[in-house]
Structure 1
Amino acid sequence: MTALPDCYCPLDGTRVPSGSLAWCCPSCGGPLDLDHSPTPASLGSLSGRANSLWRYAECLPLPVPDCTLGEGRTPLVPLTEGVSAKLDFLMPTLSFKDRGAVMLAALAARLRPERVIADSSGNAGTAIAAYCARARLPCTVYVPRGTSPKKLEQIGAHGARLLVVEGDREATARAARAAADEDGVFYASHVHNPYFLHGTKTYVHELWEDLGGRLPDVLVVPVGNGTLLLGAALAVAELHTAGLIDRRPALHAVQAAAVAPLAEAWRAGAEDLVGVTPMAPTFAEGIAITRPPRARQILRAVRASGGAFHTVTEDQLRHAQLDLASRGLYVESTGVACWAATRDDGPLGATLNSRTAVVPLCGAGLKTGLAG
């Protein structure tokens, strides 16, 4: 059996040995990173490999698991001149979260905990429930009151136990973290567990392969807890260090204007969150996170790439969803945030000029219906 890499705290360097059920740094309580610096395979060597994210085996910290559902290798289609969309809503559970969830389920299957728990506003919970079902692992998912009924139905259909928390997304996370400290529990946290990030990074490895060994000038990424953005930063670093790309794309992060703590910190020039951001209603419920635990890492990654933060209004989200639907793409209201920012009337669209860009369409419209 392949040995697992250790985890470590990026803030104070505390190490957590492989095989541990610890879900955070025992010293500061912060999220962990993985001591894993792989070298990607060359473009030519990928031919004939499995048509899933597991084709990038050299970069993944786990071997192909029994619980795979063939996740990854989603289509890349043009939207406008210079801007393409990666259709990550065409995953087994209809969201990009499958990329990370399969890694968590595979890790849990190796560690054999008594039970698995997760917290989510919907998509991560459905993905973890599905892959735990595939791995025959008992699973409990904590969700906030007000989660989309369609997502609740999907979680329950996979056999997971649902615990609805009275309160917002932050209250839900606190409830799950309290349970995570119990003996024999594996906390399948898409925020704290670094294996999730090593799943989401395959989004960029696929783009690199699809574009013939290059990346676009700009990667536009929705940010709540930042798991797709941080995964993208990991992949870009791997490809650049290996000499497989000669320049790094700029990472442009998008938040809903209604709940934009990271964008506010960015505008203030801060290295961490500033003040307390209240929760407000938004169509982009999946990225409505008031206190992302990896805030410092997210801000640092965007700055290092030469990118920026952008916010979109509720009207822009609504119009972007209808616009994509008119192009044949029915995407949930959170998943259209990047297109809302990149359209000609969006905060990024006017500044792209001739630069190429890719936006992820992260979740299927069937999960939430139309905004408004």
Structure 2
Amino acid sequence: MTHALPGYLCPEDGTRGDVRTAPWCCPLCGGPWDLDFAPDPAAPLEPAAGPPSLWRYAPALPLPGAFSVSLAEGHTPMVPLAERIHAKLDYLMPTLSFKDRGAVMLAELARRLGPERVIADSSGNAGTSVAAYCARAGLSCEVFVPEGTSVKKTEQMRAHGAAVRIVPGGREATAEAARAAADAPGVFYASHVFNPYFLHGTKTYVYEIWEALGGRLPDALVVPVGNGTLLLGAALAVEELARRGVRAPALIAVQAQAVSPLAAAFAAGAEDAEPVAQLPTLAEGIAIPAPPRARQILAAVRKSGGTFLTVPDDRLREAQRDLARRGLFVEPTAAACWAAVGPDAPGDPLQGRTAVLPLCGAGAKTGLA
């Protein structure tokens, strides 16, 4: 029931908001919400007894009661890539992207709130995920995408029944257009950046690793970072599992060299990131020049004892092809982590540590770079 839904909490100024009535961002600072929720570490967590989807971790999720929206998302396999490195195949999701983890949470939340329509903005994968899960939930959906978005991705959105609004300009212009529309009455803004329920969906990525490894985590989690939705979800899960006695791994964040505001801020010792130019890169999914959650991302990486790595397009291209030769066909963005820590990476970025990295999106969506 909606009255039991955890409320919003601004991490910057402490403002609170009721999920049923609050605006999509903090009304004081305009920043993204966090969620006033922490699972009980004493509550039994027995995923093997649950359904074959991310809802198997229901005791750790913020949506109480029975759920009705699912496409059996999650529970993706892990395979070895190299000595001490495993890949988690999150491109084997219903819409071929890890974004299904967050989209199913937003769709279930929206179903409970009953809006007239759902709006999302995306460079591709989040939009296809939201479109699919809105279709599953019987919700009207409109997705704003930047011009130049993969035709395969926009076709997928339309196939799910979503209206697609193509916005001139880049990712930031698209977000601005969607946020303007999100202020209209009767609209639920299914933002994978601003709505914290999305992060509580992506955190199941780490819960699945914990389950697959028999109740432990690797030394390091290597994560591609643009808006940081997977990394911040991972940080949530690491913190929650630490309360259950699980040793916390380092978070190694990977950005495209062409658009790397977070890596630059980390190297400078800054608490926030300065916006950078929107330059072209093969890793379009992480090419975010001004991430709204920059402060949280930087703090999470530092707290974990991790670091940032950047990869140029030539290494991205080769990493994508190398993974394909190993039987794993992913889009260029999904190859970023392998480019950063794989055998062709300069130096020894993992320093002998065990690691898991995600392969986040299928190559069928984009083709070879």
User: In structure 2, what is the equivalent of residue 68 of structure 1?
Assistant: 70
User: In structure 2, what is the equivalent of residue 235 of structure 1?
Assistant: 237
Identical-residue share of aligned pairs (%): 68
Q: Contact 2:43/2:59 (CA < 8 Å) preserved in 1? A: no
Q: Contact 1:21/1:185 (CA < 8 Å) preserved in 2? A: no
CA displacement, residues 330-350 of structure 1 (integer Å, 9 cap, x when unaligned): 001111101110112225x61
User: In structure 2, what is the equivalent of residue 305 of structure 1?
Assistant: 304
- Equivalent positions of 1:18-33 (< 5 A) are 18-33=19-34
Which consecutive residues of structure 1, in runs of 5 or more, have no partner in the other structure? Answer: none
User: In structure 2, what is the equivalent of residue 351 of structure 1?
Assistant: 349
Q: Contact 2:101/2:204 (CA < 8 Å) preserved in 1? A: yes
1:57 is aligned with what amino acid? A
For 1:161, which of 153, 160, 163 is the aligned residue?
163
| Aligned CA distance change for structure 1 residues 4 and 42 (closer, same or farther; 3 Å) | closer
Tell me, in whole angstroms, the C-alpha distance in 1 between the residues paired with 2:42 and 2:182.
36
Task: List, as ranges, runs of 4+ consecutive aligned residues in structure 1 with deviation greater than 4 Å.
Answer: 40-44
Aligned partner of residue 49 in structure 2, secondary structure: coil
Tell me, in whole angstroms, the C-alpha distance in 1 between the residues paired with 2:44 and 2:257.
39
Cα offset, 1:40, TM superposition: 5.1
Tell me, in whole angstroms, the C-alpha distance in 2 between the residues paired with 1:79 and 1:39.
35
Aligned partner of residue 301 in structure 2, secondary structure: helix
Cα offset, 1:270, TM superposition: 0.5
Tell me, in whole angstroms, the C-alpha distance in 2 between the residues paired with 1:43 and 1:72.
20
CA displacement, residues 70-105 of structure 1 (integer Å, 9 cap, x when unaligned): 100000110001000000000000000000000000
| Aligned CA distance change for structure 1 residues 224 and 64 (closer, same or farther; 3 Å) | farther
Cα offset, 1:66, TM superposition: 1.7
Tell me, in whole angstroms, the C-alpha distance in 2 between the residues paired with 1:235 and 1:210.
15
Cα offset, 1:354, TM superposition: 2.4
Q: Report how many residues are paired.
A: 367
1:13 is aligned with what amino acid? G
For 1:130, which of 129, 132, 136 is the aligned residue?
132
Tell me, in whole angstroms, the C-alpha distance in 1 between the residues paired with 2:68 and 2:45.
27
Tell me, in whole angstroms, the C-alpha distance in 2 between the residues paired with 1:21 and 1:154.
31
TM-score, normalised relative to structure 1? 0.96
CA displacement, residues 221-278 of structure 1 (integer Å, 9 cap, x when unaligned): 00000000000000000000122x1x2100000000011011111111100013x311
- Equivalent positions of 1:1-372 (< 5 A) are 1=1, 3-39=4-40, 45-62=46-63, 63-243=65-245, 245=246, 247-274=247-274, 276-347=275-346, 350-371=348-369
Aligned partner of residue 172 in structure 2, secondary structure: helix
Q: Contact 1:216/1:357 (CA < 8 Å) preserved in 2? A: yes
Aligned partner of residue 10 in structure 1, secondary structure: coil
TM-score, normalised relative to structure 2? 0.97
